[in-house]
């Protein structure tokens, strides 16, 4: 009965919802990122609560816009606020190589309420139709999956249609605690990518607790993930649970470090149905000893990260993910498959000379084979066929550069990345795809970084936009994309030119 109620609780919030942390950062241009760096100068790897991010948006002092259609309806009465805004977005373009048309269109509405600065609700309902690039989510092209989202209502080759609910309810009883429940995606880290938890994944139902005391900030989250690959028609989606907690410590104003741990639970074991293990809900325990005591049926990952700011405008950041590790095996030279870990190093600067609203970022990501994978699809580090960390999965390295500039109502962002990845060439798993069981490996030893068919992928994207209304994120712009995938067998080139207009609230880039 207990397990049934937990599952019912999450299934309800899969159809009602929004991610307060994510939606409060809709305007992710250089102007906003500079304000975040100045005003949220502590625990930046964990997105602050909705109220703080709202204060950042207000601090930008956007010019008033009297367009009632875009601004929507706002009611302020006795410490109660209600806002209703329309959502619409149209993007069309063409693949210059394939000579094919691409599109991304959605529409709906957003509702947000606030009571006494303690109780918040934010919800977005949208209907989508898109014709996606051929390379988007290729390993699950036979599944009804939409990149960054979840299950599609309709899919025919690259054309997809889907409905989306994203939202949440948050209660802050005091300045020290906050509770949130909803559906969305979360990110942990200061970089463009995250090796711990990223917003590149499909949205999922969650409940979250935040606590702040002195220089510490802690959050714990229970998530309901979807396993579309093992779901059967007519029976609905198969689910698994994940429990995550992060402890962040502000060493001093310019330096922050944090510890990350997550566990993906296998609801069955050798005896049969196991259900939800409530031992993982204890916020004061480490998951690895609990998992070991249960016979190691689950997938536990740990991580460390930090950021150091120098000269007020330059920040160095790093992350490390540890899936499995034996020191003696690492330096033995035997190529043991179970040394599963990754590293991220990065640097960024806000405020270039003569361009105060600007940011430049350089980042390197490196992940060994088989990282994030597990024995079954129920316990690999992913949801709805999409990785919960870096979108490339594992067995890769990446060098990324991003420059963003804002001036008045104009915004320009240039992003480029170079990825090397060793991919599978047969039914044997070589460690690049977290959704393939590690039991399919060729051998315990003799494994190497970038093993398999080597792909060299070059990505570039230029986005230039003009904001008609920054508070509503209403803008029009152009987007140029370039992707070249070199492999020993062939060369896949993709270039496109797109134009768009609307109140953009979702990620529409495919930089992987």
- pLDDT score, position 232: 55
The arithmetic mean of pLDDT across residues 234-258, rounded, is: 86
Q: What is the pLDDT of residues 424-444, one digit of tens each?
A: 988 899 999 998 999 999 999
Q: What is the pLDDT of residues 65-100, one digit of tens each?
A: 666 556 667 777 777 889 898 999 999 999 888 888
Coil/strand/helix, residue 181: strand
Q: Which fold has domain 2-503?
A: Porin (2.40.160)
Cβ neighbors of 460 (< 8 A, separation 6 or more) are: 414, 415, 416, 480, 481, 482, 483
- pLDDT score, position 471: 78
The arithmetic mean of pLDDT across residues 226-233, rounded, is: 65
- pLDDT score, position 76: 77
The arithmetic mean of pLDDT across residues 104-128, rounded, is: 91
- pLDDT score, position 96: 84
- Tell me the range of 102-106, 361-365, 424-428 where mean pLDDT is highest: 361-365
| Rg from Cα positions in the chain | 22
Q: 133-137, 342-346, 416-420: lowest mean pLDDT where?
A: 133-137
- pLDDT score, position 149: 79
Q: What is the pTM of this model?
A: 0.90
Residue 66: C-alpha distances to residues 55, 263, 408, 472 (Å)? 21, 48, 18, 12
pLDDT at 14 exceeding the cut of 50: no
Put residue 148 in one of left, alpha, beta given phi > 0 → left and psi -120 to 50 → alpha. left
- pLDDT score, position 352: 87
Expressed in angstroms, the distance from the first to the final Cα of the chain is 43
The arithmetic mean of pLDDT across residues 150-171, rounded, is: 85
- pLDDT score, position 448: 94
- pLDDT score, position 147: 79
Q: CA 406, CA 352: separation in Å to the nearest integer?
A: 11
Q: Please state the domain extents for the chain.
A: 2-503
Do residues 81 and 54 lie in contact, with contact meaning Cβ atoms separated by under 8 Å? no
Q: What is the mean pLDDT of the chain?
A: 83
The arithmetic mean of pLDDT across residues 102-130, rounded, is: 91
pLDDT at 308 exceeding the cut of 90: yes
pLDDT at 34 exceeding the cut of 90: no
């Amino acid at each position: 009965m207990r397990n049934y109620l937990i599952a019912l609780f999450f299934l309800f919030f899969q159809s009602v919802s929004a991610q307060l942390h994510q939606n409060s950062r809709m305007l992710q241009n250089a102007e906003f990122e500079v304000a975040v760096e100045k005003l949220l100068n502590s625990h930046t790897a964990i997105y602050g609560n909705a109220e703080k991010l709202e204060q950042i948006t207000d601090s930008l002092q956007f010019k008033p816009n009297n367009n009632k259609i875009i601004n929507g309806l706002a009611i302020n009465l006795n410490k109660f606020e209600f806002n209703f805004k329309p959502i619409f977005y149209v993007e069309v373009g063409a693949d210059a190589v394939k000579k094919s048309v691409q599109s991304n269109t959605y529409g709906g509405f957003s509702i947000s309420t606030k009571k006494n600065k303690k109780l918040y609700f934010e919800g977005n309902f949208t209907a989508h139709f898109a014709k996606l690039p051929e390379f988007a989510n290729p390993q699950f092209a036979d599944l009804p999956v939409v990149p960054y989202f979840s299950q599609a209502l309709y899919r025919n080759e690259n054309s997809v249609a889907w409905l989306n609910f994203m939202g949440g309810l948050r209660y802050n009883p005091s300045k020290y605690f906050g509770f949130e429940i909803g559906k969305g995606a979360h990110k942990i880290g200061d970089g463009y990518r995250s090796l711990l938890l990223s917003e590149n994944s499909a949205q999922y139902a969650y409940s979250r607790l935040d606590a702040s005391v002195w220089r510490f900030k802690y959050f714990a989250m229970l998530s309901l993930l979807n396993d579309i690959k093992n779901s059967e028609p007519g029976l609905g989606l198969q689910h698994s649970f994940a429990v995550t907690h992060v402890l962040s410590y502000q060493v001093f104003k310019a330096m922050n470090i944090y510890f990350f741990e997550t566990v993906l639970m296998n609801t069955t074991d050798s005896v049969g149905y196991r259900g939800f293990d409530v031992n993982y809900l204890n916020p004061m325990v480490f998951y690895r000893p609990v998992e070991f005591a249960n016979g190691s049926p689950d997938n536990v990952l740990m991580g460390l990260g930090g950021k150091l700011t120098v000269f007020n405008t330059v920040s160095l950041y790093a992350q490390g993910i540890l899936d499995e590790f034996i020191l003696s095996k690492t330096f033995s030279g035997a190529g043991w498959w179970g040394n599963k870990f990754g590293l991220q190093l990065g640097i960024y600067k806000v405020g270039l000379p003569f361009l105060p609203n600007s940011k430049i970022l350089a980042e390197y990501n490196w992940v060994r084979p088989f990282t994030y994978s597990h024995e079954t699809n129920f316990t690999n580090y992913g949801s709805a066929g999409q990785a919960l960390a870096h979108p490339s999965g594992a067995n890769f390295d990446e060098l990324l550069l991003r420059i963003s500039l804002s001036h008045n109502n104009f915004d320009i962002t240039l992003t480029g990345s170079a990825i090397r990845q060793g991919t599978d060439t047969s039914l044997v798993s070589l460690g690049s795809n977290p959704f393939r069981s590690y039991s399919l490996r060729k051998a315990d030893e003799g494994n190497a970084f970038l093993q398999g068919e080597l792909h060299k992928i070059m990505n570039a994207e230029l986005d230039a936009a003009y904001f008609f209304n920054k508070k509503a994120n209403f803008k029009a712009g152009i987007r140029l994309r370039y992707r070249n995938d070199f492999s020993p067998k062939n060369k896949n080139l993709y270039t496109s030119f797109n134009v768009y207009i609307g109140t953009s609230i979702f990620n529409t880039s495919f930089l992987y």
